[in-house]
Amino acid sequence: MSIDSTWLRCPNCFSDLSLVDERVYGCVHGHRFDRAKHGYLTLLPPKAPRTIGDDRAMLDARAALLGLGTYAPIADEIVRAAALETSGARPSVADLGCGTGYYSRRLADAHPEVRLLLADRSSDAVRASLRAIPEATGIVMDIWRPFPIRTAAADAVLNVFAPRNPEEFARILRPAGRLVVVVPGVDHLAELRREGLLLDVPPEKAAAATDRLADAGLVRRSASRVDYRIEADGALRRLLAGMGPSAHHAASSSEVSEQRTIRVTVSVDVLVFGHRGAG
């Protein structure tokens, strides 16, 4: 595992970061950051909130579910939507809210030449992602604050079921770059919500994301709906309930019947944005 510092800027002063001493990265103003033994950098700004992002139980549930191929159609659409150009220089992709690295791994499988930045607030998530894609650069960062990522560094940005910072997305995306955002539709996992296993999805999430990104100068280029049904036994329903924020708020998944299998709806919107005025 290594760090490609050409992605990075200091979270304190926004100067470029570079390797200064074996495992230490720093800027011209003397701010220093040690590379963890697991291969990532923690680049949090001063007085960053003490949040930790997804915990290990959530990540384990997500890895198990994704390993079954349950969300493979979503990954296929993300790869298509990213539309990476591979005839010239190596394309650069930043996965912000990378989770287990599943979607970036699928993108790297389709485009082995891609340069990847894997970023998440959870250090456990970044570690998991680097295990999946050891050739990538991994950082722990706060998505709500200015990113420790250089301006116009990315040909594509992935934001899959993750928080959004539109102004920073616009800043790090190259003029002709593409932002791929995945949000749940109103029917996504609706059957589990009726069982009290998941929190409700706010209506019109795609429209809300589109409006907020437009305010930052990112306009929607395309939208596609990935919609299908899965057969979910008790074990699979527990994974679906345990892999996201609902694990902390919804009804206990221990009440799920092992014997009963139901059809569950997967319904998400894959939205592609670009800079206003770009081709």
Digit-coded pLDDT (tens) for 94-113: 999 999 999 999 999 999 99
For the CA atoms of 135, 141, 146, 150, the dihedral, rounded to the nearest 10 degrees, stands at -20
Query: Which of 68-77, 93-102, 233-242 has the least mean pLDDT?
Result: 233-242
- pLDDT surpassing 70 at residue 245: no
For each of the domains in the chain, give its residue range(s) and CATH number, in order of start: 5-275 (3.40.50.150)
* pLDDT value of residue 89: 78
Q: What was the pLDDT predicted at 251?
A: 45
Q: What is the mean pLDDT of the chain?
A: 91
CA distance 249 to 196: 10
- The pTM (predicted TM-score) of the whole model is 0.93
Predicted local confidence at residue 257, as pLDDT: 55
Of 249 and 34, which is predicted with more confidence?
Answer: 34
How far lies 158's CA from each of 22, 32, 226, in Å?
Answer: 30, 28, 16
Residue 235 has a CB neighbour count (10 Å cut-off) of 13
Q: Poorest-confidence range of 51-55, 101-105, 229-233, 239-243?
A: 51-55
